[in-house]
A = this chain, B = another copy of it.
Amino acid sequence: MRPTLIAVLFAVFSVSTSEAQDDAMAAADAYQQAHEQQILEEAFDFLALPNNAANRDDILVNARHIVAMLEARGADAQILEASDSLPAVYGEILTPGATRTVMFYAHYDGQPALPENWTYPPFEPVMLSGRIDAGGAPVDWRDASVIDPDWRIYARSSSDDKSPIVALLTAIDALVAADIPLGVNIKFFFEGEEEAGSAHMRTMLETHRDLLAADFWVLADGPVDPRGDPRIVLGVRGVTSMQLTVHGASRDLHSGHYGNVAPNPAARLAHLIASMRAPDGRVLIDGFYDGVPAPSDAALALIESGAYDEDGLVAEPGIAGVEWRQGASYGEAVMVPALNILGLSSAATGDATRNAIPSTATAAIGFRMVPGQTIPRIRELVTAHLESEGYVILDRAPTPEERLAHPMIAEIHWSTSGYPAAVTQAEHPDVIRLTGLVASTSDRPVRVVPILGGSLPLAPIVDVLDVPFAIVPMVNPDNSQHAPDENLRVGHLWDGIRLYAVLMADDWED
């Protein structure tokens, strides 16, 4: 089956563009060329609004601004709240005759930005002639006869995610200006607390289930492929973590008088870690892989077709070879769940080392989950594993009586944040269609990623709404998102307008 699937997927990637797609792209390009200053003006106004999710008033100003932006396009728009969430903005444009509905998601809040770490103030957007570290200097774009696509807008959220919001709305302008009808009902869901952890995403979707219903969610978040190619991301791993402390004696003890006498919690922790995780990353906890599906042939075919930038991801940070299994690829390694040791601490090392047996040793342990795994199940399996290794498990330090009663005591604390994985199957018909649409917008190969190694709280889209989704990004990979001097390459904004115009003009019918 695999060679056939590869053939199917490659056939899709190289599909010749239809007339409708050509028309949508031409409309986007024409509109962009005729309205460069106007598009940028809207982006600059939006980027001037501080959007740290820690400041509810700022977030509300942004939300109202987006409502106005949506209403200017004739969309029905409203602010949504759920429980004590920050406001999200919902918008919809119903299309007569359309049979399907596509939801476009982005978030408008941004990571905190400390002005002293920025070259230019984060909420006073500025156009530079290139990257700052390549000598980029301010340019007077408002009076320029031509906007160079290599110019860059520097501001917090210029890439993550305010410019995708501008691109989505401009795509509508472009289609309207060219009299091209939308092919689908369009909905927008713009979140206001993504950078703060999307704590209310599930409640929000549950509360507004009917409003947010759609046939497919397109998430306009994150950058394109590091190689510069268009990218579609079909899933993310889930994440949870724990602190595992092994207790020894009630205090650090002289390593001479107590070497071989007092239990050594650092050595015991090492044995525990070794009991949980093989040298190649395989997890040895009983039941850990139960219910975890093998990578599908379609996913493996995508990996083989170059979904991941193997060379850039592996060799660049000095890795001699992927940890997971002999000869495995990057993609195969992130398709399976991972147990990561995130940190170790016990007494001190280096110059601060003392000749003492530590009284405790702690490991921070992270889990990256795939579909089929849940946080409660991971907790249950880890607990059972520790018990099978002979440990009594506490959620606090032991009492003197407990120390004398039990030779092996582990204290564990689970992170209160975290969420399960979310994946759309590579062989889903809408994914095949989406891939063809994205492919039509670029001469470069589309990189369809079966699952990102990282995590985003997307599970409620699947769990609550039962809707397939894909991340379809537009911004440049070198955008410094989450860091100082976040920026957007203007050419990527133009590409985004074209990309989303094509997705909106299509009827998404089989």
Contact = CB atoms under 8 A, between A and B. Distances in A.
Contacts of A34: none
Nearest to A366: B255
Given A250-B318, A270-B270, A274-B271, A257 B452 contact: yes
A243 B324 contact: no
Given A253-B317, A256-B368, A342 B333 contact: no
A145 interface: no
Given A239-B355, A353-B241, A262 B454 contact: no
A280 to B, nearest CB: 9
A346 interface: yes
B341 A344 contact: no
Contact of A264 (B281, B356, B361): B281
Contacts of A243: 349-350, 353
Contact of A279 (B268, B314, B400): B268
A320 B358 CA distance: 16
How many copies of this chain are found per oligomer? 2
Interface string A247-266: 01111011111111111101
A464 to B, nearest CB: 23
A300 to B, nearest CB: 16
Contact of A368 (B259, B320, B321, B354): B259
Contact of A317 (B237, B251, B313, B340): B251
Interface string A128-171: 00000000000000000000000000000000000000000000
Given A323-B260, A323-B262, A349 B362 contact: yes
A257 B320 contact: no
A340 B355 CA distance: 9
Interface stretch (A60-68, A194-202, A404-412, A422-430): A404-412
Given A250-B318, A261-B313, A355-B241, A344 B342 contact: no
A260 B281 contact: yes
A100 interface: no
A99 interface: no
B263 A452 contact: no
A364 interface: yes
B256 A454 contact: yes
A138 to B, nearest CB: 32
A279 B269 contact: no
Interface string A437-455: 0000000000000001111
Interface in A312-363: 313-315, 317-324, 330, 333-334, 336, 338-350, 352-358, 361-363
A433 interface: no
Nearest to A314: B261
Nearest to A399: B318
B453 A258 contact: yes
A256 B333 CA distance: 11
Given A259-B338, A262-B319, A353-B364, 12 more contacts: A241-B353, A249-B317, A257-B313, A258-B317, A259-B281, A259-B368, A260-B323, A260-B336, A342-B358, A344-B345, A344-B361, A348-B364
7 contacts: A253-B317, A257-B334, A261-B324, A264-B340, A342-B357, A343-B349, A355-B366
